[in-house]
Amino acid sequence: MWSVGGEGGYFVADDLAIKAGLGYSDFGDDFSSFSYKVGAKYYINSEFPVGLDFTGTSFKDFDENPSYIGIEGGYAWFISPKVSIEPKLRYNFSMNSDFYDDALQVLIGFAIHL
């Protein structure tokens, strides 16, 4: 099993970015998925990121695919003026609860601010 993805954003105002992401996962045995995300991130006091986004996944040969509205909040620890490590909590609200459940995630990411 392997996966790859990326996310990027553009600051439209001080501390407010719009973002988008794409990903691909291969689970072996001719089973794979494609994921996408669009949303926004705001840095409260330039160090506490909060975000809201829509995430969807398309599984190969599935009739029903999950989609979520996600909210997240965390802390941006700037290890240099342009690089931050961002631990955060994220909650995903399922848009199709007949097939997929809500999910809580604990994440650690990093951001490069160009």
Q: How do residues 7-18 score in pLDDT, each as one tens digit?
A: 999 999 999 999
Other C-beta atoms closer than 10 Å to the C-beta of 49 total: 21
Give the integer Cα–Cα distance in Å for 99 and 70: 17
Q: How many domains does the structure of the chain reveal?
A: 1
Q: How do residues 93-105 score in pLDDT, each as one tens digit?
A: 999 877 788 999 9
- Per the structure, the complete domain to which residue 54 belongs is given by 2-112
CATH code, 91: 2.40.160.20
Residue position matching structure tokens 């392997």: 2
Structure tokens at 56: 């969807």
The model's pTM:
0.84
Nearest in space to 47 (alpha carbons), one of 71, 70, 18, 73:
73
List all residues 6 or more positions away from 54 whose beta carbon is below 8 Å from its beta carbon: 37, 38, 39, 67, 68, 69, 70
Band (91; pLDDT cuts 50, 70, 90)? very high
Structure tokens at 9: 């954003």
Q: How do residues 66-87 score in pLDDT, each as one tens digit?
A: 899 999 999 999 999 999 999 9
